[in-house]
């Protein structure tokens, strides 16, 4: 009998130890859960990269808006010069990276408990709204309400573009409310350095939310009824935080290390060893923009574009494919300038205060209140200021069309043209959306590889969606004629 | 000094084992024709003491007394017993065994079974056949030799890697490779590749899932059971030497155009990497930078004309020297085999070198009812090859070679270190891609590894029917590596398009340990005169642990000094670890009836660490029967034709578990973090199904083994069907789901296949003999269901092309952007530009072959033997990524097919504007000089979908063995063979496939499990080898 007991004990020990034996499925190198202060900087860093790195959002805007061209000896921008916007692989990273990187991470933060993490949740929602609006402006209908559910919904449905816009306004309003609730809540955990945009300043977040709302309203005005626009604007006023007063920048503390520099500098500036990057050498001003800046006595020229070794600015028409044109090599032409890209440690601007003034000016011009000229001139000055170009008074005091407000024949064209100049190199995609919507700035050339003034008005859905979400992705709209809803 | 010490240890061990008995019997064993029979076991009855006859059939054995009975046995021969009496010489003629297939099959855990008893289909490759081609890696020696086995030699560097698939691909995204067992212990493909091939005695292949019952999940793709050489009890001490020298040369390079050279858009350009220049005209022109006056060099002037083999001349003749010395022997109770091997290789890429040393010790000892032993091999190697992240674009070496135009004398740029040479970085002609010789000199990837694979085992004969045995094995790999790139600055005037190449050093360490063990109780009972029962119960475990760490330093301060202290700025680094444990209990019972009918029932309960705790174990059963028809119904084999017949039928179920740590979604630190005090973690790109669980494979297999003409010929056939359900698969979801991969259980796959092997002696004329083995295998996996109404999932998606699993189609399917075709199949072009329209991403076919045929023929005449192994695969396609990537440069033959003119696209039509199509006779394509090829042709990826059919002469061997009369005279030589070998001496690919070997995979690393169907430019070109071998035994 005793013997049996020992056997039972032995077997029991064996089973117990076997259970422990298999308890080795924990990854020692990757945690299964982390706190939001470790998630937030990753998400914001991805936003900066999505906006500013090589062949991402800002880059596309600069190519289509004729701001940037190609130095001789490079075969860098063939696709851009041909406007291959009907291709499913043309700038498809804009769609892919938005969802796979930033939105994925924001969505995770947005799912945290607002009882204590309201500031995190709200700021994540504001950044999601920021990202989704640009996606709508690039693609039209996009996955929104069904998106970001990972394994729960591997093939999300597409939402109507206009519905997404409406949803974003609600999302932003809710986020502002959540921030107000959080401020009143003693348990609230505030971000600090981990909020690499506002350092946990809830008022700044509310202002940013209002500025995104303003961007939405400016663009949707006309499709949205003026009553709706008025009431949304009234709500912003009632809320009381106002708009952003400085450029919105991501800066986690960029340092001179590979992968850790300002993302635009990393691709178009110098690597950590101090040598100029290939993309930086390949990218330069167009002849048109150089002439325009010079003809309007715009002192921003030396900040938006770098002065070549020769001492005088030099631009290249888009679409010259010959590989050895004398006088147009990387050192002969105006590359991206020091106001746009000051160094590896500069913050990455994702929203300019200048644009916010121009958005206000446009709505003021359309009768929603405010003085358009003051707002316009504030916008121009904000652009000069952020580039480091000093006072703009002399510039906008000139009697030149689309420079001096009072002198300009078409006030809307003046506002949009100045916005285009203000976001050049920084958030240039905004000027593309304006062009598709308003037709301004007028007279912008197209690439020599294209005949006729036909420029894409949108992007095609990416190859990845065609391959993996075929049941939902809309049939490819024509990128040259199928405008986004706000341009209809 | 170390070597001498080692050798003296070896010898002292040998002498300790040697012993001398009372008297000697010798003689010669011959077959029915009088030819000496090698390899006959001569054993003293009632003992395990015995010897083996030599190549000429001679043997010599010590016997205790006149009452001794000797048992003579050999595979395929009828066993005979002879009483010694007073004789000291016994010559014996042996007859063919009518039950030729009564050979021994090594199954699980080193258990040997008579072939008749095995109730499922197996195959076997012996040492001679394996070593036929003197391959450096054993896996490569299996190609074409086993029905149902597909061995892919996936690269051809100095240390080639192989992938071994049995019965095709069954898993969509996880490992499809067969399980490797070495000397009864579970091992890995890496351990197999690291074996000295000449240490291998035989390889048994268990093709089906039946092996799973004994070995668990890992054997669900079949098992390759490797037995290394053992000494023989009672064998005299023998020393042997195997030596071979082989020379490797490039077999073929991509077939490029040689009509147009350096230039862009139809014009000559002296510094391009592209081939869009004018037609070759022989005029002498400047190539490379325009040097200023007074520069150390004049401009380089070259005739604008193609240079034959200019790329091929870059590659050198590689050389591999292999040496193995072995010692074996034994007495009545002990036996051993030891070997020391060395391989030294110089690759076809200049300065690529590889050195390998192996040491093997196998020994065992009997002490009454106890037997114990050790099998072990220690391996070290050292690799020094060109790095993979070359230049300011981080490209592999081959890319730089391919980006050299046909008018450039590539091999004249060797002197890269000399500033007054055209080969120097500042003076090199190509403005975009660096000199490959410079790449070799400034980018090195070196590593050193060592591996110990071995086991110790013991068995105890409880009684004459019951044996208890246990085995503990280890497979430990450890190594270090350094991979560096030197910096390079450029003169901005001479090389304006180059940016500084930054320097880096990656210092890595890696180690893995797998410990495995088992304990078995096996019996063998006769229940009655008719019935026998062979039961086995046992338990086994595997404990695997892996760790890999890497430190990266950048922008090195001191040129040529490769230590992390030499880096500037922050050090980068990663550590990656993995751990998995499994254990299981199993029982296996074989019931035999009259020696001709067998029923096997087996079951296994497995426990794994990688599944959720409440669902981490599973039971799976297997059942099978075999009937020796020719014994059951002797009348069917009574005629002259059929001499043997056996049928088998089996069903087995196996479950597969998840990958290590895959159960939980994990966070990781992205490359960008930390920024000083701000750290960050990112959610993994792979979403994991919350209800993910094990996958199930169920296989039915029917087999037929026939012997003809007194078993001179054999036919082995098997037919199988595997149903895989709840497959664990990483599918590609919409990126809008916030994940880039989704790990889930999907649907249903059905694999079916047929394998046929015909082998035998075709011709026998006194001294001449022709033996042949032809094997055929076909297998196909159809996707029956994926998930819900999901019709397809992407496996390896590149946007405009990729591999997919598609419901109702064979798996995997290759998809690519296609032409738009009208209802008559004509290519639809744009009515105004004449350019073909770029259509949707469509499926073009499967990437696995319809069938593979392998054949080995061996002709022998006296001591001369000529053998050859060929294989042929067809019915599959692959994506030639190399051709796709090179199109931009204007190297393709297609790009000159219309002389760089605009042309009417053949067999095309266009839309008349009303949805009807009219034949296009007049509208030509646009920009035929360059733009069409770069932007239209290159965007229709269908152009790069190629027939992957290949016929290869894998191995040819000619050898001569000295007659025993000659060796005997020497007094010390037992045998000597000299040989000539050729490997991959001939390859025939379809004409459309101009780029490379479709077998090569599109990845630089060997991490990617299933590199199927996408062939890249990352590997060096295919090679062929010739060499000599010498095998001597004393």
Contacts of B663 in chain A (CB under 8 A): 25
Cis peptide before A164 (omega within 30 of 0): no
Task: List the single residue in B with minimal CA-CA distance to A278.
Answer: B499
* DSSP 3-state of B786: coil
Q: With cut-offs at 50, 70 and 90, classify the pLDDT of residue B549.
A: very high
* Phi, psi (deg, nearest 5) at residue A19: -60, -45
Q: How far apart are CA B445 and CA B436, in angstroms?
A: 15
Number of H helices, E strands in chain B: 10, 56
Measuring CA to CA, which residue among B168, B170, B133, B138 is closest to residue B153? B138
* pLDDT score, position B622: 92
CA distance A276 to A255: 16
Say if residue B3's pLDDT is above 50: no
Q: Which residues in B lie closer than 8 A to residue A324 (C-beta atoms)?
A: 264, 269, 271
Contact assignment for B800 to A26 by CB distance below 8 Å: no
Tell me how far apart the alpha carbons of residues B338 and B479 are, in angstroms, rounded to a whole number: 24
Supply the pLDDT for residue B222: 85
Residues of B in contact with A33 (CB under 8 A): 667
Cα separations (Å) of B537 from A95, B438, B598, B676?
Answer: 57, 62, 18, 59
Return the CATH number at B66: 2.60.40.1120
- CB contacts of B271 in chain A (<8 Å) are 324
The per-residue pLDDT for B1006 is 35
The confidence score (pLDDT) of residue B350 equals 95
- Contact between B543 and B516 under an 8 Å Cβ cutoff? The reply is yes
Range of lowest pLDDT (A319-323, B721-725, B1018-1022): A319-323
Asked if B736 and A156 come within 8 Å (Cβ–Cβ), the reply is yes
Rounded to a whole number of angstroms, the distance from the CA of A72 to the nearest CA of chain B is: 9
User: Which residue in A has a C-alpha nearest to residue B790's C-alpha?
Assistant: A471
Specify the number of domains making up chain B. Answer: 1
Alpha helices in B148-290 (DSSP H): 189-193, 211-215
Is residue B8 included in any domain, yes or no? no
Torsion, Cα A405 A410 A415 A419, to 10 degrees, reads -120
> What is the predicted pLDDT for the residue at B1011?
44
A chain contacts of residue B576, beta-carbon cutoff 8 Å? 29
Whether residue A100 and residue B738 make contact (CB cut-off 8 A), yes or no, is: yes
Does residue B88 form part of some domain?
A: yes
Block residue for tokens 């019915």: B875
Nearest residue of B to residue A103 by CA position? B738
d(C-alpha A127, C-alpha B205), whole Å: 58
Nearest to B226 by CA among B177, B171, B184, B163: B184
Which residues, 6 or more positions from B636, have their beta carbon under 8 angstroms from its beta carbon?
B629, B630, B642, B645
Among B485, B501, B615, B738, the residue to mutate for chain A (most A Cβ within 10 A): B738
pLDDT of B21 over the 50 cut: no
Of A38, A75, A258, the CB nearest to B554: A258
| Model pLDDT, residue B595 | 87
Please state the rounded mean pLDDT for residues A91-98: 96
A255 vs chain B: nearest CA distance in angstroms?
Answer: 7
Q: In this structure, is residue B670 part of a structural domain?
A: no
Residue A120 to chain B, least CA–CA distance (Å): 15
Query: Binning pLDDT at 50, 70 and 90, where does residue B1004 land?
Result: very low
Q: Which residue of A has its CA nearest to B931?
A: A78
Q: Could you count the other beta carbons within 10 Å of the beta carbon of residue B472?
A: 16
**What is the dihedral sign for C-alpha B493, B495, B500, B505?**
negative
Look at the block and give the residue holding tokens 């699993």: B805
- Taking an 8 Å cut-off on Cβ atoms, the answer to whether A272 and B554 are in contact is yes
pLDDT band for position B170 (cuts 50, 70, 90):
low
| Contacting residues of A for B613, CB less than 8 Å apart | 19, 22-23
CA dihedral B82, B85, B90, B93 (to 10 degrees): -30
Average pLDDT over residues B380-398: 91
* Span B666-681, average pLDDT: 94
- Indicate whether B87 belongs to any domain: yes
Residue B544 pLDDT exceeds 70: yes
Which chain A residues contact residue B690 at CB under 8 A?
Answer: 151
**Interface test with chain A among B485, B737, B818, by most A beta carbons within 10 Å:** B737
pLDDT in tens, A435-445: 999 999 999 99
A28, A39, A273 member nearest B577 (Cβ): A28
Q: What is the rounded CA–CA span in Å between residue B554 and residue A257?
A: 9
Query: How far apart, in whole angstroms, are the C-alpha atoms of residue B224 and residue B207?
Result: 8
State the average pLDDT over residues B382-389.
93
Q: Distance (Å, rounded) from C-alpha A437 to C-alpha B457?
A: 80
Give the pLDDT of residue B26: 87
Choice between B59 and A121, residue whose per-residue pLDDT is larger: A121
- Give the pLDDT score at B6: 43
CA dist., res. B392 & res. B434, Å (int): 9
Nearest to B496 among A73, A100, A471 (CB): A73
CB contact under 8 A, A41 and B679: yes
- DSSP at B342: E
Q: How far is B609 from chain A (nearest CA, A)?
A: 4
* Complex ipTM: 0.93
pLDDT band at A265 (very low <50, low <70, confident <90, very high): very high
What rounded mean pLDDT belongs to chain A?
93
Compare all CA atoms of chain A with the CA of B289 and give the residue at the minimum distance: A324
Is residue B1034 classed as helix, strand or coil in its secondary structure? Answer: coil
Q: Among A26, A29, A155, whose Cβ lies nearest the Cβ of B575? A: A29
* Number of other residues whose CB lies within 10 A of the CB of residue B971: 6
- What is the average pLDDT across A362-367? 97
Whether residues A42 and B682 touch (CB distance < 8 A) is answered with yes
Owning domain of residue B79: 23-93
DSSP annotation of B966 reads: H
Give the residue, B339 or B252, on which the prediction is more confident: B339
Q: Of B735, B788, B833, B927, which to mutate for an interface test with A (greatest number of A Cβ within 10 Å)? A: B735
**pLDDT tens figures, B804-829:** 889 999 988 999 999 999 999 999 99
Band of the pLDDT at B394, cuts 50, 70, 90? confident
Burial A323-337 (b: 16+ CB within 10 A, else e): beeeebbbebbbbbb
Q: How confident is the model at residue B515, as a pLDDT? A: 96
A273 interaction partners in chain B (CB closer than 8 Å): 487, 500, 502, 554-555
Confidence of residue B99 (pLDDT cuts 50, 70, 90): very low
Whether pLDDT at A94 is above 90 = yes
Ramachandran angles phi, psi of A208, nearest 5°:
-65, -40
Split at pLDDT 50, 70, 90, the class of B25 is confident
Q: Locate the DSSP E strands across A296-432.
A: 348-351
Bridge partners, residue B687, by sequence: B742
Please list, in sequence order, all residues whose beta carbon lies within 8 angstroms of the beta carbon of residue B493, skipping any fewer than 6 positions away.
Answer: B292
First to last CA, chain B: 25
Domains of chain A: 36-70+81-251+457-480 (1.25.40.390)
Question: Residues of B396-433 as b/e, b for ≥16 C-beta within 10 angstroms?
Answer: bbbbbbbbbbbbbebbbbbebeeeebbbbbbbbbbbbb
Number of continuous H segments (helices) and E segments (strands) in chain A: 20, 4
What is the nearest CA distance from B794 to chain A, expressed in angstroms? 7
Per CB-CB distance under 8 Å, the chain B contacts of A39 are 680-683
- Least confident range from A46-50, A376-380, B804-808: namely B804-808
Look at residue B729 and tell me whether its pLDDT is greater than 50: yes
Q: Of A208-217, B9-18, B995-1004, which gets the smallest average pLDDT? A: B9-18
The model's pTM:
0.83
Q: Is the model more confident about A44 or about B1011?
A: A44
Distance from the A423 Cα atom to the nearest Cα atom in chain B, whole angstroms: 26
> What distance in Å separates residue A73's CA from the closest CA in chain B?
7
Give the β-pairing of B975-988 and B466-485: unpaired
How far away is chain B from the Cα of A191, in angstroms, using its nearest Cα? 12
CB of A145 within 8 A of CB of A168?
Answer: no
Across A108-119, average pLDDT = 96
**pLDDT band at A452; cut points 50, 70, 90:** low
Do the Cβ atoms of A99 and B738 come within 8 Å? yes
DSSP-assigned states of every residue in B36-83: B-TT-EEEETTSS-EEE--TTSEEEEEESSTT-EEEEE-TTB--EEEE
d(CA B168, CA B766): 42
In the three-class reduction of DSSP (H, G, I as helix; E, B as strand; rest coil), residue B30 is classed as strand
Across B559-587, average pLDDT: 93
What is the overall mean pLDDT for chain B? 88
d(CA B477, CA B452) in angstroms, rounded, equals 7
CA B307 distance to own-chain centroid: 36
Residue B63 in any domain: the answer is: yes
Contact (CB, 8 A) for B94 and B59: no
A80 min Cα distance to partner chain B (Å)? 12
- CB pairs A-B closer than 8 Å: 250
Lowest mean pLDDT among B63-72, B626-635, B755-764: B63-72
Least confident stretch, A116-130, B105-119, B484-498, B756-770: B105-119
Would the CB atoms of A147 and B737 count as touching at under 8 Å?
yes
Residue A2: pLDDT over 70? no
């Amino acid at each position: 009998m005793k013997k049996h007991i020992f056997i039972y004990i032995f077997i029991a020990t064996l089973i117990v130890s076997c259970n422990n034996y298999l308890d080795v499925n924990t990854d020692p190198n990757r945690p299964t859960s982390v706190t939001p202060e470790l998630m937030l900087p990753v998400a914001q860093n991805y936003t900066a990269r999505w906006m500013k790195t090589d062949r991402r959002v800002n880059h596309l805007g600069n190519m289509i808006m004729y701001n940037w061209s190609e130095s001789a000896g490079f075969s860098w921008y063939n696709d851009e010069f041909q406007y291959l916007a009907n291709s499913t692989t043309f700038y498809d990273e804009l769609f892919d990276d938005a969802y796979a990187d930033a939105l994925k991470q924001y969505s995770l933060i947005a799912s945290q408990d607002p009882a204590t993490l309201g500031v995190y949740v709200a700021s994540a929602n504001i950044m999601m709204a920021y990202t989704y609006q640009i996606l709508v402006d690039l693609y039209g209908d996009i996955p929104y309400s069904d998106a970001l559910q990972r394994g729960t919904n591997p093939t999300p449905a597409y939402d109507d573009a206009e519905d997404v816009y409406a949803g974003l306004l609600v999302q932003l309003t809710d986020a502002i409310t959540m921030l107000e609730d959080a401020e009143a809540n003693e348990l609230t955990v505030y971000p600090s350095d981990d909020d690499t945009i506002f350092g946990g300043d809830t008022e700044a977040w509310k202002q940013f939310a209002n500025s995104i709302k303003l961007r939405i309203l400016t663009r949707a005005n006309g499709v949205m009824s003026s009553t709706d626009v008025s009431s949304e604007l009234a709500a912003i006023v009632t809320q009381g935080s106002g708009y952003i007063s400085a450029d919105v920048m991501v800066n986690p503390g960029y340092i001179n290390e590979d992968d850790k520099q300002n993302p635009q500098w990393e691709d178009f500036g110098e690597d950590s060893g101090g040598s100029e990057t290939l993309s930086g050498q390949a990218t330069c001003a167009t002849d048109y923009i150089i002439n325009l800046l010079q003809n309007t006595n715009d002192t921003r020229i030396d900040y938006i574009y770098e002065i070549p070794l020769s001492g005088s600015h030099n631009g290249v028409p888009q679409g010259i494919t010959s590989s050895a044109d004398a006088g147009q090599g990387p050192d002969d032409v105006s590359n991206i300038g020091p106001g746009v890209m000051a160094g590896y440690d500069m913050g990455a601007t994702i929203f300019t205060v200048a644009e916010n003034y121009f958005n206000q000016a446009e709505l003021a011009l359309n009768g929603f209140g405010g003085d358009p000229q003051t707002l316009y001139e504030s916008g121009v000055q904000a652009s000069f200021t952020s580039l480091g170009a000093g006072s703009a008074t002399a510039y906008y005091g000139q009697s030149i069309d689309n420079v001096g407000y009072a002198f300009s024949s078409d006030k809307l064209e003046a506002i949009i043209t100045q916005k285009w100049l203000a976001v050049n190199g920084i958030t240039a995609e905004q000027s593309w959306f304006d062009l598709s919507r308003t037709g301004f700035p007028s007279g912008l050339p197209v690439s020599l590889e294209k005949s006729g003034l036909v420029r894409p008005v949108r992007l095609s859905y990416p190859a990845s969606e065609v391959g993996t979400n075929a049941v939902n992705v809309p049939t490819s709209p024509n990128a040259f004629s199928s405008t986004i809803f706000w341009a209809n | 000094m170390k070597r001498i010490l080692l050798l003296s240890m070896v010898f002292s061990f040998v002498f300790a084992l040697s012993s001398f008995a009372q008297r000697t019997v010798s003689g010669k064993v011959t077959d029915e024709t009088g030819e000496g029979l090698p390899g006959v076991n001569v054993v003293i009855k009632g003992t395990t003491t015995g010897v083996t006859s030599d190549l000429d059939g001679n043997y010599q054995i010590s016997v205790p007394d006149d009452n001794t009975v000797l048992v003579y046995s050999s595979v395929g021969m009828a066993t005979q017993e002879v009483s010694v009496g007073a004789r000291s010489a016994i010559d014996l003629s042996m007859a063919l065994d009518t039950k030729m297939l009564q050979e021994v099959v090594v199954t699980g855990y080193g258990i040997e079974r008579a072939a008749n008893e095995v109730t499922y289909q197996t195959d076997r490759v012996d040492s001679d056949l394996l070593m036929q081609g003197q391959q450096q890696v054993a896996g490569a020696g299996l190609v074409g030799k086993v029905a149902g086995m597909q061995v892919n030699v996936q690269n051809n560097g100095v240390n080639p890697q192989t992938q071994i698939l049995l019965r095709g691909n069954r898993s969509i995204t996880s490992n499809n490779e067969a399980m490797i067992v070495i000397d009864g212990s579970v091992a890995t493909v890496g351990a197999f590749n690291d074996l000295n091939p000449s240490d291998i005695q035989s390889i048994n292949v268990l093709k089906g899932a039946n092996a799973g019952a004994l070995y668990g999940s890992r054997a669900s793709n079949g098992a390759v059971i490797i037995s290394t050489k053992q000494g023989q009890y009672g064998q005299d001490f023998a020393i042997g030497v195997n030596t071979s020298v082989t020379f490797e040369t490039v077999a073929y390079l991509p077939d490029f155009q040689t009509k147009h050279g350096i230039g862009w858009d139809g014009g000559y350009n002296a510094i391009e990497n592209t081939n869009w220049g004018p037609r070759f005209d022989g005029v002498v022109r400047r190539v490379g930078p325009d040097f200023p006056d007074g520069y150390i060099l004049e401009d380089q002037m070259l005739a604008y004309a193609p240079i034959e083999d200019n790329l091929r001349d870059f590659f050198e003749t590689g050389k591999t020297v292999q040496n193995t010395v072995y010692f074996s022997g034994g007495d009545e109770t002990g036996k051993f085999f030891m070997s020391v091997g060395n391989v030294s290789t110089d690759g076809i890429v200049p300065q690529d070198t590889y050195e390998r040393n192996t040491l093997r010790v196998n020994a065992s000892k009997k002490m009454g009812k106890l037997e114990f032993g050790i099998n072990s091999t220690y391996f070290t190697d050292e690799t020094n090859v060109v790095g993979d992240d070359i230049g300011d674009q981080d490209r592999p070496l081959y890319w730089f070679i391919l980006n050299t135009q046909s008018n450039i004398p590539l091999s004249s740029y060797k002197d890269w270190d000399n500033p007054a040479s055209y080969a120097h970085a500042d003076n090199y002609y190509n403005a975009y891609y660096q000199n490959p010789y410079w790449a070799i000199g400034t980018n090195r990837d070196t590593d050193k590894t060592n591996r110990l694979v071995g086991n110790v085992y013991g068995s105890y004969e409880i009684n004459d029917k019951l044996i208890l045995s246990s085995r503990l094995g280890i497979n430990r790999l450890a190594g270090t590596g350094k991979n560096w790139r030197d910096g390079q600055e450029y003169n901005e005037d001479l090389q304006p398009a180059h940016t500084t190449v930054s320097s880096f050093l990656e210092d890595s360490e890696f180690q893995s340990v797998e410990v495995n063990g088992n304990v078995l109780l096996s019996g063998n009972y006769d229940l009655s005169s008719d019935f026998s029962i062979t039961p086995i119960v046992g338990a086994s475990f595997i404990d695997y642990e892996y760790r890999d760490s890497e430190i990266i330093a950048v922008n090195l301060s001191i040129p040529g000094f490769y230590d992390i202290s030499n880096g500037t700025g922050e050090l980068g680094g990663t550590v990656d670890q993995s751990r998995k444990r499994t254990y299981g209990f199993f029982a296996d019972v074989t019931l035999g009836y009259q020696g001709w009918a067998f029923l096997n029932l087996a079951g296994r309960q497995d426990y794994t660490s990688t599944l959720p705790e409440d669902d981490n174990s599973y039971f799976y059963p297997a059942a099978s029967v075999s009937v020796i028809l020719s014994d059951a119904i002797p009348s069917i084999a009574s005629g002259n034709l059929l001499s043997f017949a056996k049928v088998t039928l089996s069903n087995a179920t196996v479950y597969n578990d998840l990958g290590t740590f895959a159960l939980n979604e994990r966070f990781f630190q992205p490359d960008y973090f930390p920024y000083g005090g701000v750290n960050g973690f990112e959610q993994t790109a792979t979403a994991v199904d919350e209800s993910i669980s094990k996958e199930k494979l169920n296989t039915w297999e029917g087999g037929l083994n026939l012997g003809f003409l007194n078993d001179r010929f054999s036919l082995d056939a098997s037919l199988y069907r595997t149903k895989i359900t709840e497959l664990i698969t990483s599918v590609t979801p919409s990126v809008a789901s916030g994940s880039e991969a989704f790990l889930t259980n999907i649907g249903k796959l059905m694999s079916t296949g047929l394998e046929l092997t015909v082998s035998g002696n075709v011709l026998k004329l006194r001294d001449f003999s022709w033996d042949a083995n032809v094997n055929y295998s076909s297998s196909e996996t159809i996707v029956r269901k994926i998930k819900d109404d999901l019709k397809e999932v992407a496996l390896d998606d590149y946007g405009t092309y990729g591999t997919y699993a598609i419901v109702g189609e064979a798996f995997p399917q290759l998809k690519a952007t296609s032409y738009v075709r009208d209802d008559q199949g004509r290519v639809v072009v744009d009515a105004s530009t004449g350019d073909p329209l770029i259509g949707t991403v469509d499926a073009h076919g499967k990437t696995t072959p319809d069938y593979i045929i392998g054949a080995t023929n061996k002709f022998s005449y006296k001591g001369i033997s000529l053998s050859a192994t060929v294989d042929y695969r067809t019915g599959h396609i692959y994506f030639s990524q190399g051709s796709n990537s090179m199109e931009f440069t204007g190297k393709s033959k297609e790009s000159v097919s219309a002389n760089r003119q605009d042309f009417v696209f053949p067999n095309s039509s266009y839309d008349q504007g009303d949805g009807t199509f009219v034949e296009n006779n007049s509208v030509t394509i646009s920009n035929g000089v360059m733009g069409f090829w770069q932007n239209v042709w290159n965007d229709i990826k269908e152009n790069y979908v190629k027939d992957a059919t290949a016929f290869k002469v894998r191995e040819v061997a000619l050898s001569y063995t000295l007659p025993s009369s000659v060796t005997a005279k020497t007094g010390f030589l037992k045998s000597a063979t000299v040989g000539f070998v050729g490997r991959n001496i001939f390859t025939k690919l379809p004409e459309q496939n101009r780029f490379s070997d479709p077998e090569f995979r599109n990845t630089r690393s060997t991490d990617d499990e299933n590199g199927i169907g996408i062939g890249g430019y990352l590997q060096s070109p295919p090679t062929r080898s010739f060499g000599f071998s010498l095998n001597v035994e004393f």
